[in-house]
Amino acid sequence: MLQKLQIKNYALLEEVTILFDASLTVITGETGAGKSIMLGALGLVLGERADMAVLRDKQKKCVVEADFLLKNYDLQAFFTEHELDYNDQTILRREITPDGKSRAFVNDTPVTLNILKQLAHYLIDVHSQHETLLLNQAAFRYNIVDAFAGCLAEQKQYRFFYTQLKEKEKELQELLTFEQQAKKETDYFQFQFNELEQAVLKEGILHQLEQEYDALNNAELIKQSLTQAYSSLDEEGGILSQFSSLKNNLNSLTRYGKTYEELAARLQSAQIELKDITAEIENANERIVFDAKKLETITAQLDTLNRLLKKHGVKEETALLAIKTEIEKKLSQFSSVEEEVQKRQQELKTLSDQIWKKAHLLFEKRKKAIPLIQKSIQDMLADLSMPNARIEIRCMTAENLNLYGCNELQFLFSANKGLPLSELHKVASGGELSRLMLCLKAHIAEKTALPTIIFDEIDTGVSGDVAHKIGTILLRMGKAMQVVAITHLPQLASKGKQHIFVYKQELNDQTQSSVKILSAAERIVEIAKMLSTGTPTESALLNAKELLNTKN
């Protein structure tokens, strides 16, 4: 529900604050006084495009704020989806700066114009005389029929399951595409995996093989060096025999002091270590055997590893191990995808069967309700001076499920006697469509919670008696929802619970529009002016009082 509208620096409006009633509010004023300007300002917070031309003072920004009470609209999910803080009291704000920039806010959080427009869709429905697009929207047609049939909750539940069905169909299609791709790629990935598996990969293997390769490839040089080292150490006159003579010399000096004892002991340790080294050199020399077959094997392993590194564009065997693990994971997925496809197909069939049952139930309820809807709307149109108007709602079976069930709805209309039923926009004038839309929305309002509806001169081109009946319908709608009607006719204006008067005045050599909520006495005068020309006559004042006292 729209509670308050604040407008600053917009066209002829310098600064205006309007508090709205929860039921039926009427807005009157002379042509050009600023009623359309108010709608234009409201359009900014509904997400319409901005124009710098609306700035009254080109040096200041234009600000429009609309305060809404959201308690009955069940919009928490919308706020969560768009990462907005929900509050029952929510403010939509739009700012237009002098440099032409536009900014939109929801509860002081900046939002895109698209999000603002989506939210506004749930809050306000601006109905103009020439509105026809809504009748062509499937959601509107189904809501009319389902409101009458008492199955709006079932429609909502059906759409929830239908959305799930579409998501699962999409997932299955993606899985089938993956399965098809898997069948093409399995051999390729299996070949790659086998290559890596046969390479006997492990961390450090490349360095180990390179060392073994170097050792085998230089076996003769290594053996020659070891032989020479052994000879230098152990042959007659070699290092070990010289160590023995040196040790004997030092031992002969040990009786002359502790220093010589320590030197002799250290030399003894060095001799032991040197003998140990000599023995290990001998053993290593004996183990050196040139193995051409082993060298061939290691060379092949190194060639394989280096080829795999180059093929996969990596530098270390650890990266090859990671690639092998990833390929193994893909092969595992490939092997299980067929089983997963069968599982998903069964789940989809079960869900589809459930949804078809729900769709058929909706179809039957709609067919049963349609005759009642047609009669009720035709009766109301007859009250609005369209006695020969006929409306036919066709509920046709659809081959496939859609967002609203297993049927399609078509609205056909004939405004005058003798004319065939046809599509609405082809057979109805603006005034006729306007009255038809009023009847349709009035019926929905009785069955379900609707956003605030603003009727912009819905009474254009109708007589006083019809205006009175339109006003009665709006007043009845106002008992269930918030309705705002902009009108030039006193019969409709008298029905409002709240009366807002828009007028122009000259201030400081500038034209300015202003807004005033009329008191009971002021309403009598204003409606009397609408009934007469010039100064209201006594009879016009009496007539105005009578109109105000006959609200129902």
- Strands of 422-423's sheet in order across: 390-402, 405-414, 422-423
End-to-end CA distance of the chain: 23
3-class DSSP state for residue 422? strand
In CATH, what number does 1-129+450-517 get? Answer: 3.40.50.300
Mean residue pLDDT of the chain comes to: 85
pTM value surpassing 0.85: no
pLDDT exceeding 70 applies to what percent of the chain? 93
Give the pLDDT band (50/70/90) at residue 128: low
- Please, are residues 17 and 5 in contact by the beta-carbon 8 Å criterion? yes
Helices first, then strands: H and E counts in the chain: 17, 15
Q: pLDDT for 212-242, tens place per residue?
A: 778 777 778 888 888 888 888 887 767 887 8
Tokens 């002091």 correspond to 257
Domain extent listing, the chain: 1-129+450-517, 182-335
Chain-centre distance for alpha carbon 214: 62
Highest mean pLDDT among 288-292, 323-327, 429-433, 460-464: 323-327
Residue 227 burial by Cβ neighbours in a 10 Å radius (0-12, 13-18, 19+): middle
Whether pLDDT at 105 is above 90: yes
* 145 closest CA partner among 358, 359, 360, 371: 371
Q: What are phi and psi of 417, to 5 degrees?
A: -65, 135
Token digits of residue 253: 């000096």
3-class DSSP state for residue 93? strand
Q: What are phi and psi of 504, to 5 degrees?
A: -110, 150
Query: How much is the average pLDDT of 414-418?
Result: 84
Distance CA 82, CA 114 (A): 11
Token digits of residue 329: 């994971």
Q: pLDDT for 22-71, tens place per residue?
A: 999 999 988 777 788 888 888 899 888 887 778 888 888 999 999 999 98
Residue 348 burial by Cβ neighbours in a 10 Å radius (0-12, 13-18, 19+): middle
Q: pLDDT for 326-345, tens place per residue?
A: 877 776 766 677 778 888 89
Q: pLDDT for 358-378, tens place per residue?
A: 999 999 999 999 999 999 999
Q: What are phi and psi of 379, to 5 degrees?
A: -65, -40
Q: What angle do CA 156, 162, 167 make, to 5 degrees?
A: 130
Q: What angle do CA 518, 524, 530 make, to 5 degrees?
A: 95
Residues 6+ apart with CB under 8 A from 420: 414
Highest mean pLDDT among 15-19, 191-195, 290-294: 15-19
Q: Which residues pair with 504 in a beta bridge?
A: 513
pLDDT exceeding 90 applies to what percent of the chain? 28
Task: Give the residue, 276 or 243, on which the prediction is more confident.
Answer: 276
Specify the amino acid at residue 45. V
Q: pLDDT for 141-194, tens place per residue?
A: 898 899 889 898 899 899 999 999 999 999 889 888 877 777 776 667 767 777
| Confidence (pLDDT) at 427 | 60
Tokens 């040196």 correspond to 246
Cα dist. 462→24, 469, 489, 500 in Å?
20, 10, 9, 22
Question: SS3 for 190-207, per residue?
Answer: HHHHHHHHHCCCCCCHHH
